[in-house]
Structure 1
């Protein structure tokens, strides 16, 4: 059921996903396709904010902030997985893999290499603070408009 808390959480985490995606795209090597990363992470943030943070309001601000951090971690994981699959498909179209199993193993290797690029203090701090704020915003909206 749509609520104000879900709407605010979805919008907050969509904005956070877009900003995080743009910051992360700056860390990628030159020539890596990044045009889709910002909007894709915004879409993942929108869905995760609606389903995770917006659905768990009403338990207090501390619980909402921890839920916000959980939402950010989930958003980052899903975004990295989706982007790794996207890059794997691009590489598979160029016949860079010998078979489907090697391509699937390539997804996990890509995710690990991209996770290392994500572990920059600026990005991690922005995601942590954004998760805390996003959780607080959803809790505030849940209390304001019941």
Structure 2
């Protein structure tokens, strides 16, 4: 059911995804073609906010902070997973893998590599602050507009 809290959570995580995408792009190799990288991450942020954070509102301040942390964690997990799948498909189209199992295993390897690339202090601090702010703003929206 659509609520103001779900909408606010989706918007908050979309903003966090947009900013983090801008922080991640300089960390990638120079020859990287980003294509739909930013819009796809914004959509993932919208979905994570709507699905994960939006339904867990109204439980207090501590739960709101935990809700924000959970939402950002899920957003990053989905984002890395989707981008790793995209990279695997790109490599599979160049006949890099011998069979389907090798390609599936490569998703996890690529995702781990992407996770290591973006595991920097500025990104981590921004995700932490963005999670807390998103959780508190979503909680406020849930209490304000019932």
Q: Same fold (TM over 0.5)?
A: yes
Q: 2:31 aligns to what?
A: 31
Look up the match of 2:4: 4
> Deviations for 1:4-55, whole angstroms, at most 9, x for unmatched residues?
1111011010111111122112211121222322111111110110111111
**What is the alpha-carbon distance in structure 2 between the residues aligned to residue 100 and residue 10 of structure 1?**
35
Partner residue, 1:143? 143
Once the two structures are superposed, residues 46-98 of structure 1 have per-residue CA deviations (whole angstroms, 9 ceiling, x without a partner) of: 01101111111101122111110111011001100000000110111111111
Q: Distance in 2 between matches of 1:26 and 1:34?
A: 11
List gaps (5 residues or longer) in structure 2: none
What is the TM-score of this pair, normalised by structure 1?
A: 0.96
Alignment of 1:68 with 2:68, yes or no, is yes
| C-alpha distance in 2 between matches for 1:120 and 1:49 | 23
Structure 2 counterpart SS, 1:56: coil
CA distance in 1, matches of 2:18, 2:38: 5
Residue of structure 2 equivalent to 1:42: 42
Aligned to 1:82: 82
Count of residue pairs the alignment pairs up: 146
Secondary structure at 2:12 match in 1: helix
The CA distance in 2 between the partners of 1:39 and 1:82, in whole Å, is 13
Provide the rounded CA distance (Å) in 2 between the counterparts of 1:29 and 1:71. 28
1:120-139 equivalences in 2 (<5 Å):
120-139=120-139
The answer as to 2:15 corresponding to 1:15 is yes
Spell out structure 1 runs of 4+ moving beyond 3 A.
none
Match of 1:99 in 2: 99
Superposition RMSD in Å: 0.9
> More displaced, 36-45 or 26-35?
26-35
